[in-house]
């Protein structure tokens, strides 16, 4: 019998109530009448970028709801009511200077019934996407288990692929299915990949549909069969067990395979399954109780989860349901620099034949006592901007001799640098010489009460 982390409804209720008592959620529908917004990204332009499964890439102004269609991929194809179509998306880390958009979608090869998956790089300009360049192609697709989440870490693009309902694909190193792939942003294969000449980063996956990079680690969420949905930390050149292993190495046959194949066990597993999907990392003072946690959308049980991490960020202490969030099936999640959480739903018929009933929703604390210092001139100033080497901070008199926390994130929301400051004089400096050229967000907060979010460029 597989390891079961929780099945008792009473325990879930108690955990949910405990979490909810610490939080004060307000919600607002930002956009409705959508068709399965599969990927949502809070971009460096303060817009939400999103894909829809029927081939559309859109850009949304989150205050007014104004939405622009940037591109429609007419080759996008959905098999029946399956999991394919237009799926993952990522924005270039240096988006303001290199405005590239990366998209993952399924299509039918012309004149055949061959269902395939590819990743394409577009150029953004004049409110449209153009100049498509295929980076990787001919990944086998299926009605189910297509993966499809993509993520940029540094100058590398990670791609999750499903086993296309053929379990042995995941262990076959000649197949791109059931893997995490890693390529350069121009589609070439990195020289330091674990298998020379191959885009494979790791293998043994059934269907990973969530990826986030935080704390120097790449986390994923993955669908299990009838047991053992998983959260994993992805490590180069390692085997995650599928189809021989589901969840932990706790059955005799699994234990033998795990030893022989050096299998990585998950951080957490759910039985019964919940169908985990998009994940993100939360570290903002708007919701102090969520700080330092992974947040995860789920499809089957229709909840938003807080996955509480240990101090080393390499283990999950508890998985808690944020019980007041009830919008049906949840597909993806992103977080704004101001701390708001945005979720997308997945309630439309996946075939695209029915009504488009999906929404993008903002979750925020309407009674928050957090003060945005960015709007108070002279309180905390970042200079110069653009930054050449290191960040200089000018603190106003009322901000001295207080403990401040800060982090620096890239345009994908990944935390690249963090620490504490105790300014005793107005001028402070933070070492950023090791950051590559690009656009970043600098967030500063004091005792979880006041924060400043400022965008800066480094050259």
Note whether 86 and 76 are within 8 A (CB).
yes
Active site residues: 145
Note whether 229 and 269 are within 8 A (CB).
yes
Note whether 240 and 263 are within 8 A (CB).
yes
What is the Cα–Cα distance from 219 to 267, expressed in whole angstroms? 10
What are residue 160's DSSP bridge partners?
180
């Amino acid at each position: 019998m597989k390891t079961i982390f929780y099945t008792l409804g009473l325990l879930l209720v108690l955990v949910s109530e405990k979490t909810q008592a610490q939080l004060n959620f307000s919600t607002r529908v930002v956009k409705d009448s959508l068709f399965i917004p599969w990927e949502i990204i809070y971009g460096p332009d303060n817009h939400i970028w999103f894909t829809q499964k029927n081939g559309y890439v859109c850009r949304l102004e989150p205050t007014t709801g104004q939405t622009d269609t940037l591109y429609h991929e007419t080759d996008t194809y959905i098999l029946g009511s399956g999991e394919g179509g237009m799926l993952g998306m990522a924005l270039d880390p240096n988006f303001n200077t290199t405005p590239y958009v990366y998209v993952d979608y399924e299509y039918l090869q012309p004149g055949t019934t061959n269902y395939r998956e590819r990743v394409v790089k577009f150029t953004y300009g004049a409110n449209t996407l153009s100049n498509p360049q295929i980076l990787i192609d001919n990944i086998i697709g299926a009605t189910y288990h297509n993966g499809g989440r993509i993520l940029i870490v540094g100058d590398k693009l990670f791609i999750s692929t499903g086993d296309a309902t053929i379990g042995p694909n995941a262990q076959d190193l000649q197949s791109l299915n059931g893997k995490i792939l890693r390529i350069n942003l121009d589609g070439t294969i990195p020289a330091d990949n674990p298998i020379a000449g191959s885009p494979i980063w790791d293998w043994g996956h059934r269907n990973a549909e969530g990826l986030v990079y935080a704390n120097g680690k790449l986390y994923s969420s993955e669908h299990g069969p009838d047991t053992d949905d998983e959260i994993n930390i992805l490590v180069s050149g390692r085997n995650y067990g599928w189809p021989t292993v589901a969840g932990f190495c706790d059955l005799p046959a699994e234990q033998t395979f795990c030893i022989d194949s050096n299998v990585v066990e998950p951080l957490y597993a759910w039985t019964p399954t919940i169908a985990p999907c998009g994940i993100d990392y939360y570290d903002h003072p708007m919701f102090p109780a969520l700080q330092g946690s992974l947040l995860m959308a789920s499809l089957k049980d229709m909840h938003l989860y807080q996955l509480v991490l240990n101090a080393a960020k390499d283990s999950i202490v508890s998985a808690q349901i944020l019980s007041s969030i009830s919008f049906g099936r949840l597909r993806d999640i992103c977080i704004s620099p101001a701390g708001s959480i945005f979720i997308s739903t997945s309630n439309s018929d996946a075939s695209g034949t029915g009504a488009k009933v999906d929404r993008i929703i903002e979750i925020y604390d309407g009674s928050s006592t957090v003060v945005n210092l960015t709007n108070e001139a002279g309180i905390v100033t970042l200079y110069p901007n653009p930054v050449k080497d290191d960040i200089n901070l000018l603190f106003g008199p009322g901000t001295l001799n207080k403990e401040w926390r800060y982090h620096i994130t890239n345009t994908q929301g990944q935390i690249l640098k963090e620490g504490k400051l105790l300014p005793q004089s107005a001028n402070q400096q933070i070492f950023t010489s090791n950051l590559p050229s690009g656009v970043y967000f600098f967030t500063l907060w004091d005792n979880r009460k006041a924060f400043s979010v400022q965008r800066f460029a480094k050259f």
